[in-house]
Structure formats: C-alpha cells, structure tokens
Amino acid sequence: MALLNFSTFTLGVEEEYMVMDPDTRELKSHEQKIVQEGQKIIKDKVKAEMHQAVVEVGTDICANIDEAYEDIKTLRRTISDIAGSLGFSMGAAGTHPFSHWESQLITDHIRYSEIVNELQEAARSNLIFGLHVHVGMETREMANHIANSTRYFLPHIYALSTNSPFWEGRKTGYKSFRTKVFDKFPRTGIPEAFESIEAYDSYVKILMKTNCIDNAKKIWWDLRVHPFFNTVEFRICDVPLTVDETICIAALFQAICAKIYKLRQQNMNFIQYSRALINENKWRASRYGIDGYLIDFGKEEEINTRVLIYELLDFVDDVVDELGSRHRIQYVHKMLEHGTGADRQLAVYERNQNLAEVADYIREQYLYGV
C-alpha cells in the first residue's frame, strides 16, 4: 500500500512549571521576572500563568518528535538557568507536595481577573500544572473525526502521566489529584463526540451567544479541536517530572492520531464509546495510575492497565516508523518499569515521610537527562 502523508501531524508541546523557594521549597511568586527575562531569550515561548508561582512554556511547531525533544530540553534548561540567577528553583509535577493555594498570588492581568471574578474559589484554588500536546491536522473536519476516536485512549495515556499524589501536605490516595482540583471548573473532563465539525462550532456559538463564554478557549476539556488552528489539543495529562516522559507521551498522542487517520484512509474507524464509559476509565487512571485496571469496553471486562498500554503500543506499531518516533515511544517500557512520576514521588515519601524530600526530588528530576 502507498505510504500515507503523515507530514501534517506536526507537534506543539506546552508545559507548566512550578517556581519554588530554594530554601523552604514552597511555591513562590517570581513577580513575572522569569517570564520577563525568558522573553529576551526565547521570545513568546514563555508565558505567565494565572498564579504567579507558575511559568508556562510552549515549543515552536515541530515537524517531528525529535524537534519537540530538542525544543523542550532547551526550554527547561533556559528557564532553570534564569530561575537560578534570580534565586528560584524549578520543578515539574501536577501539584506541589505541600504549598497551599491560599497564600499564592494571582497574576495581575485582565484575563485572569475575569476568570477569578467568574469562577471565584474554583479559580483561586486551581494551583495545578499540566501538559498540553497539540497535533497538527490537514483539516478541522479531520481534527474532529480524530478527536472523537482518540477520546477512548485518553485514560491510558493519562495513567502514564500521573504525577500529583500530594495536595496541600496530604497524601491524597490518588496518583493524579490534579484533575480532581480542575474538575471544579465548568466545561472540563472528557468531551462528548461531535458528529461533525459544524456541530462542534454550533455548540461553541451557542455558548458565546448566551454569554457562557466570551471565547472558545474557555472550553477546558481533556481534548479539544483547537478553536483557531487545525490541531487536536490533548490536555488531560499531569506535567511529567522529566523531559523523556513528556516526549514519550507527546509521541504516543501523535501516533494515535496517525493510526486513526490511517484507518480512516482505509474506510475503517475505531469504535466510539460514550463519555460516561470513558469517564469510568479516567477515574481509575487518576486513582491507581498504571497499577490498576481499566475497562476493555469491547470485551466488557477489567484488564490490567499495563496490559492495555502494551496493547496500545501494538495498535500504533505500524505508524511509528513513518513518524520517526519509535525510539521515543520505547521509553514507555522504562516508565512501566520505574513507575510514573506519582509512583516515584510516593517512593521518596515512604522512605522518611518527608515532603520536603519529595519537593527536592521534583527539583532534581526537572533537568534529569538534559
């Protein structure tokens, strides 16, 4: 069969980092100094976030996973150097182990003021750190088709990304508590399937017409067709501790999109499941990470999450070489062997029941392998 054109499946990766006081390990406002200094070097690839203890970075549009890897590596190193020179340290985890949101300052910006004014405590307490992966599409119609089908796989990859077991000094019992915090926002979680891109656009128009939202970026689902670009944006994951984990997850999202596209070109499709069913798997992934069971809806039975992740690798195997991402996706085996960020944070904690040591570990891992 002729090779398919996978060149449209470009990548963009966004990560949210925590700014810490090197001595107390608490989250600390950097008064946008890191962003201001960063913009001199990496321009608009660094941005402020709602809380002043958060820095967001985003790659260029990358033609392949290796470009994304180099970009994220450079971004982490650059931000770390700037933070160090200003007396801060950086880390990447879905939540901080013990800092309290009440003591954190909100960035002075009209957009954030509006969100806080509308969402109140839900916005002020939303002190979390995520990973967003954009995968380029040839058309928005194809983006909608691929978004519908890839919803099924969100919990599988989310389980791999789990990296927020602590919240405000407590061991939560979840591998990812970040999404529990974010669930307080409206228009979050697994989206419905939309029968067409027109149906999706119509939904957005109704929300805007009735003053539910003033722009489509206030739809905060775990996965969305981007309102302005031909991309599918995956938003479910905790930000991982390390670059290698981030890139592995980005490569998996890209591969799933390419596989669904390939099926479509062969007049086949992946079966659609309801939001309610996929939500059952999302909850299990947040609670147990890779150490639990997800539901195989086809077989209608619980299957070990690790087994389903291996099945996912088999599912995308025939597209990864064309994408040039096999060497990045192989890192899944290391993640399954060493545990997710949450598993490793918990292992550090179990040694001495000391959350300061967990915060130190998060800082150490930030530039691991860079």
Q: What is the pLDDT of residues 177-197, one digit of tens each?
A: 999 999 999 999 999 999 999
pLDDT tens-digit map of 198-226: 999 999 999 999 999 999 999 999 999 99
Q: What is the mean pLDDT of residues 237-243?
A: 98
pLDDT at 4: 79
Q: What is the mean pLDDT of residues 16-23?
A: 98
Q: 292 φ, ψ to 5°? A: -115, -150
CA 236 to chain centroid, in Å, comes to: 5
Helix H or strand E segment including 233: strand 231-238
Q: What is the mean pLDDT of residues 18-45?
A: 97
What's the mean per-residue pLDDT of the chain? 96
pLDDT at 3: 63
Model confidence at 104: pLDDT above 80: yes
**CA 145/CA 342 separation, integer angstroms:** 32
Q: How confident is the model at residue 1 (pLDDT cuts 50, 70, 90)?
A: very low
Q: What is the mean pLDDT of residues 279-287?
A: 98
DSSP assignment letter at 253: H
Q: 236 φ, ψ to 5°? A: -80, -20
User: Lowest-pLDDT range, 3-7, 242-246, 307-311?
Assistant: 3-7
Q: How many CA atoms lie within 13 A of 23 on its CB side?
A: 1
**What would the two tokens of residue 183 be?**
């669930």
pLDDT at 108: 87
Model confidence at 111: pLDDT above 90: no
Model confidence at 164: pLDDT above 70: yes
Q: What is the mean pLDDT of residues 320-344?
A: 98
pLDDT tens-digit map of 351-369: 999 999 999 999 999 999 9
- The domain segmentation of the chain, as residue ranges, is 11-366
Model confidence at 281: pLDDT above 80: yes
Tell how many helices (H) and how many strands (E) occur in the chain.
15, 13
Largest separation between any pair of C-alpha atoms in the chain = 60
Helix residue spans in 107-165 (DSSP H): 110-119, 121-124, 140-150, 154-161
Classify domain 11-366 at the CATH class level: alpha beta
pLDDT tens-digit map of 54-103: 999 999 999 999 999 999 999 999 999 999 999 999 999 999 999 999 88
**What would the two tokens of residue 22 be?**
């090197």
